[in-house]
Structure 1
Amino acid sequence: MRETFPSLKVERPTITLRELALQKMRTAILDARFLPGDRLVERALCDELGVGRTVVREVLRHLETEGLVESLPNQGPIVAILDIDTAAEIYEIRALLEGEAAMACARHADANIIVGLEDCIARIQAAFDAQDHHAVRDLTTAFYERMFIGGEKHVAWEIVQSLTARINRLRALTIASDDRGRQAVQEMRQVLAAIRANEPAGARDAARAHVERVAEIARKLLSEGHENALMKRAG
């Protein structure tokens, strides 16, 4: 009789308290529960999150690496304030990487990738219609992930992921602006149309045009000081 061995299946660990607190704080900043410049007092956060000071400090340090929190001398951590120059640099990086990814996707994407991109756009449209801006952010990230992976740009996607929090911070600002839903979906459909038609240059140009358009919207809103009001609507 053969000996019975225990299962080799690796059980997925449950989410840790730190990870859960991090998710809560990140979402609270993106949804403008905490506004740019707000002080983040450890004791108050311990009470609101129901966790200890060690967890809060670890979360704040992590959010600082993501660019959502900054520490000021003699004041402590605050919600980072978006500035026009940093935003412009992020959009420059996006335009370069997303343009290359769209071009590569047009060369390599199979039918499954295209169907996945189509599904993302349809769900983004539905989220805009429902004014569910949290879902818009998540689904837009999913769209780009599919595009980068479809173009076999794995390292480039890792770079984008390192900027995801800052990108979503800006996205929370721009998607709440007037008529952005219709424009954004139309621009993404133009990218997809070029990918489907196997037109690498057209896909690259459409992707860059999409980023340049949203960069101009962000620049205008930031220069006019609209960040707080629009981010409140984004929640």
Structure 2
Amino acid sequence: MLTSLERPKTLKETSLERLREAITMGYFLPGERLVERTLCEQLGVSRTVIRECIQHLESEQLITVVPNAGPSVATLNPHEVQEIYEIRTMLESAAIASCAAIASETTVATLEAYCDKIARSLLDHDIKQALVDTRMFYHTIFSEGEKWVAWDLVERLNGRIGQLRAVTLSSKGRSTAGPRNLRAITAAIKQQDPDTAAEACAKHLQQAMTIALNELQKPKEDVLDG
């Protein structure tokens, strides 16, 4: 039986990933103007590719395009931040409760492994890897809980969630508090206790929202220095 070969990423896909990462990781700051010519030089691609990437990221609400002013990194106001965390709390708490009700030993072991990896990455100040593993931690939960529509909704917000996670994960003290909260969620899932798991999730996201709101009010230099 033939197996399909993995298709190599196109130049646009690679450029899109790099530009999205530059925004979510804070290389380009909220409100910063994006110059097409500079992006072409930095990524080594044509203006056509850059414009396609900008259009895509505009649909993810990571970039704002103003007539006669050009594209810039979208800003998040406190109301939007609160709304994003409210949506996350509803979706993630439901998924975590469902996962806790049926989680297998294999799933629990996978979640525990991700908790360890996230903790190590944060101690090593590797925010990029911590973001990747955090996404996979939640993907495992949504998959086990069979919350496919909810995960699709989370993915649509993924760019903005990534922006906020990069801010919160790089904040002082989050390298220990974040993993500790994820371990509490995992422990409740292991005990097959949906209510406690959902409560741990809500507590974790409330703390993250408070940090995000505080960090976004700081001068830009402070946010980057983390």
* Fold shared per TM-score above 0.5: yes
Between the aligned partners of 2:92 and 2:25, the Cα distance in structure 1 is: 25
Aligned length in residues: 226
Give the corresponding residue for 1:60. 54
Q: CA deviation at 1:143?
A: 0.5
The one-letter code of the counterpart of 1:219 is L
Q: In structure 2, which of residues 193, 205, 221 is the aligned counterpart of residue 229 of structure 1?
A: 221
The one-letter code of the counterpart of 1:196 is K
Between the aligned partners of 1:206 and 1:50, the Cα distance in structure 2 is: 45
Are 1:166 and 2:160 counterparts? yes
Between the aligned partners of 1:30 and 1:142, the Cα distance in structure 2 is: 17
Structure 1 moving runs of 4+ over 4 Å: none
Between the aligned partners of 1:182 and 1:171, the Cα distance in structure 2 is: 14
The one-letter code of the counterpart of 1:68 is L
Between the aligned partners of 1:114 and 1:8, the Cα distance in structure 2 is: 33
The one-letter code of the counterpart of 2:218 is G
Cα deviations across residues 180-203 of structure 1 (Å, max 9, x unaligned)?
111111111111111110111111
Are 1:27 and 2:21 counterparts? yes
Give the corresponding residue for 1:196. 190
Unaligned 5+ runs, structure 2: none
Unaligned 5+ runs, structure 1: 1-6
Task: State the TM-score, normalized to the length of structure 2.
Answer: 0.95
Give the corresponding residue for 1:152. 146
Task: After TM superposition, list the pairs within 5 Å mapping 1:46-195 onto structure 2.
Answer: 46-195=40-189
Cα deviations across residues 11-47 of structure 1 (Å, max 9, x unaligned)?
2221100001001111111222212221111122112
Q: CA deviation at 1:231?
A: 4.2
> Does the CA-based 8 Å contact 1:102-1:203 persist in structure 2?
yes
> Does the CA-based 8 Å contact 2:181-2:204 persist in structure 1?
yes
Q: Secondary structure at the match of 1:87?
A: helix
Between the aligned partners of 2:114 and 2:179, the Cα distance in structure 1 is: 10
Q: CA deviation at 1:179?
A: 0.4
The one-letter code of the counterpart of 1:183 is A
Q: Secondary structure at the match of 2:33?
A: coil
Cα deviations across residues 74-100 of structure 1 (Å, max 9, x unaligned)?
211001112111111100000001110
RMSD, aligned α-carbons: 1.4
Task: After TM superposition, list the pairs within 5 Å mapping 1:33-52 onto structure 2.
Answer: 33-52=27-46
Q: CA deviation at 1:9?
A: 3.4
Between the aligned partners of 2:76 and 2:221, the Cα distance in structure 1 is: 14
Q: Secondary structure at the match of 1:70?
A: strand
